Amino acid sequence: MPFDPPLHGQTPIDDISGLLDRSITTTSELNAAEAENIRKAVLRYLAAKPTSKQAPFDLSWSKQLHAQMLADVWAWAGRVRTTELNMGSAPHAIETDLHNLLEDLHEWHETDMPVLEQAVRLHHRAVVIHPFINGNGRWSRMLANIWLKQHDAPVVLWPETTIGTESTIRSQYIQALQAADQGDMSPLIELHAQHQDPG
């Protein structure tokens, strides 16, 4: 297998049958192809404030976003997984859990919860549901950033090339997600705030 073993917290790439470009044979080539695909989604949603029509934050659109981020590279992009993992919702519950998350998001927005906390909670729950075979962390971070952009808040400038490798930021990120799993959102909120665009 030419691809590197997964880091702690990463979903392993066990099946490359969905890889559209078979000239990709190494992790670095795969990372570059995925990054270029994701760049297009960043331009689509974060270059200017997205409207509620462009980003309605419903179930159908959330799956479409994953496809927009990775469909140039993977045939399964945007399709919820049908296999059990040692993390995430059971396959039969994924769409219900994701729908409920997005309903909760709209309810949070009707309260006095700060927009940053709304985005952080969206990010965390999306990671926990883990709807797709791969790309869940990047998709969850993009979801949160689109929500921030749509509500006139600074986006979070994640160091994506670093957060996907063994690094201090990755360790902080995994620890903050684990704290959120236990009900303490403050480390994850703090990490988002540290990396928000200063403008």
Alpha carbon separation from 153 to 88, 94, 113, 148, 156 (Å, rounded): 29, 29, 13, 5, 9
Q: Is residue 3 part of a domain?
A: no
Max Cα–Cα distance, the chain, nearest Å? 50
pLDDT in tens, 70-97: 999 999 999 999 999 989 999 999 999 9
* CATH number, domain containing residue 89: 1.10.3290.10
**By residue range, what is the domain housing residue 33?**
29-194
Q: Is residue 1 part of a domain?
A: no
pLDDT in tens, 12-69: 566 678 999 989 988 889 989 999 999 999 999 999 999 999 999 999 999 999 999 9
pTM: 0.91
Q: Is residue 83 part of a domain?
A: yes
C-alpha torsion 135→173→144→47, nearest 10: -80
Instruction: Select from 79, 55, 72 the least CA-distant residue to 131.
Output: 79
Q: Is residue 199 part of a domain?
A: no
Q: How many domains does the chain have?
A: 1
Q: Is residue 88 part of a domain?
A: yes
